[in-house]
Structure 1
Amino acid sequence: MAELTELSDAQRTVELVDWITWVLMTPANGLIKLSSIFLYRRIFVTGQEKLFNILSWILIVVCALWTVAFFFATVFGCGRHFDYPWGPLVEISSCNTNIRLEGLMISDLITDLFVWILPVPMVNLGLPIPVKAFRN
């Protein structure tokens, strides 16, 4: 029973570092996605590609909302009990983080696929890349 309700200082530190890693992972993934989309826009949006322009802005909004939503879902995953995620197993299990983590991982994969697929039609069309995309 003590294994469920008590943690040594070293174990608590490991759990805290693990939780901080999860908290920082979401903004890092979101910013990587947004960075990729803005790179695509810099290369492919030259004025004639209306559909690509609209789809890229929609994906920017989706990725930004995904980042903010899962960041706060991770921080407030245990409600007002901020120390539960790095506490004993009884406290961690009361947060029910598995559903949130599964949702995060599945939606992360889906948004990654959309980001990867976004430039494919532009590359397949064989449109010339404007010289201005490589200036500045």
Structure 2
Amino acid sequence: MSSESKDGVLAVCGSMLSLSSIAVGLRFHARNKTHMPIMTDDVLTVASLISFAGAAIISIIMVQYHIIGYALSPAIAGELSAKLQIAWDVLGTTSLACSKLSALFFYRRIFYVGGNRCWFNITVIITIIMVIIWLVVFQFLTGFQCGTHFSATWDGTYEKYCTLSFPYLYGFAVSDFLLDIWILSLPIPRILRLNATLSKKLAVLGVFFLTFIGLFASGARMTQYIQAERGGPDYFINHDEERIITIIFFYTMLETGVSLIAVNLPSLWFLVASISPDKIMRSISNKLSFSSLPSDTTRTPVA
């Protein structure tokens, strides 16, 4: 089993879909157990899971039709293949964006201190806007990468009309990677300022840092897109495109699944730690509270 085989694709789709479903289910179980209301970050994980499930199903269908995962796959430009890939791109991008937004809304809910003028809260809001713009732009480019020549991806005129495809794919992979690094780094200053022992700080950081696995997958996919972008359409078409597509599917599904699992871990930490409802926010402000700073003297709950 490898990132270039059908077994690898099926395994990553099946395992990530199962684990992410369990993670989301446990998240809501934790909410119910602690009598906490359903918040924006919770809803976004459900949206991410639904989108991821759709992308996983499409990946499995493509394996069944020998479009990916086989050395002698049909031409990538086939109509069925092209349409499935567009749907997969839309669902995969939606799932990634919802996971990113869920993490950001979770940061805002847990680390909201000092009012809306606090630098951290302003940074999170700006990042949320950036992710929404990122989602809209790349969803638009997915549909219009060949301009208005929508059939160009399968009717033999791909190289003539789809001049945006490779810059779009390259830009998507690089921007996704950079956004992951930025979002992952956002809570680090806050966590390092907790009034807690070093071991507790490292434990909290460890909960967030599982996303490094997703970051690795994002980086591996970015490398494949960079190679394809440098070679242009000729490289993509003439250099074992089945292998390239399969690897991209594998690492994209791995990244998306791990991101969805990781975004649920902080909420599950409350469940594992058996923190009762009335102690959840107190545990953040006391046991793991921030050092007293002039800008952090007030705390207002955020929806």
TM-score, with normalisation over the residues of structure 2?
A: 0.37
> What do the CA deviations read for 1:34-71 (whole angstroms, capped 9, x no partner)?
11100111111133681110110110111111111111
Q: Aligned equivalents of 2:146 and 2:82: distance in 1?
A: 15
- 2:174 is matched with 106
Q: 2:84 aligns with which of 5, 8, 17?
A: 17
- 2:148 is matched with 80
- 1:30 is matched with 97
Question: Which amino acid counterpart does residue 84 of structure 1 have in structure 2?
Answer: A
1:1-136 maps to which residues of 2 (within 5 A)?
11-47=78-114, 50-85=118-153, 87-88=154-155, 90-94=156-160, 95-96=162-163, 97-126=165-194, 129-130=284-285
Residue pair 2:86, 2:143 contacting (<8 A) in 1 also: no
1:24 Cα deviation from its structure 2 partner: 2.1
Question: Which amino acid counterpart does residue 129 of structure 1 have in structure 2?
Answer: I
Question: Which amino acid counterpart does residue 95 of structure 2 have in structure 1?
Answer: A
Question: What is the count of residue pairs matched by the alignment?
Answer: 124
Residue pair 2:100, 2:183 contacting (<8 A) in 1 also: yes
- 2:35 is matched with none
1:109 Cα deviation from its structure 2 partner: 0.6
1:78 Cα deviation from its structure 2 partner: 1.0
Residue pair 1:76, 1:82 contacting (<8 A) in 2 also: yes
Q: Aligned equivalents of 1:53 and 1:100: distance in 2?
A: 31
Tell me, which stretches of 5 or more residues in structure 1 are unaligned?
Answer: 1-6
- 2:235 is matched with none
1:122 Cα deviation from its structure 2 partner: 0.6
> What do the CA deviations read for 1:97-133 (whole angstroms, capped 9, x no partner)?
1111001100111111111011111111115614899
1:77 Cα deviation from its structure 2 partner: 1.0
C-alpha RMSD of matched pairs (Å): 2.6
Greater RCO (Cα-Cα under 8 Å, separation 6 or more): 1
**Percent of residue pairs bearing the same amino acid type:** 31
41-50 vs 124-133, which moves further:
124-133
Moved over 4 A (4+): none
Tell me, which stretches of 5 or more residues in structure 2 are unaligned?
Answer: 1-73, 196-282, 287-298
Residue pair 2:112, 2:121 contacting (<8 A) in 1 also: yes
Q: Aligned equivalents of 1:20 and 1:91: distance in 2?
A: 20
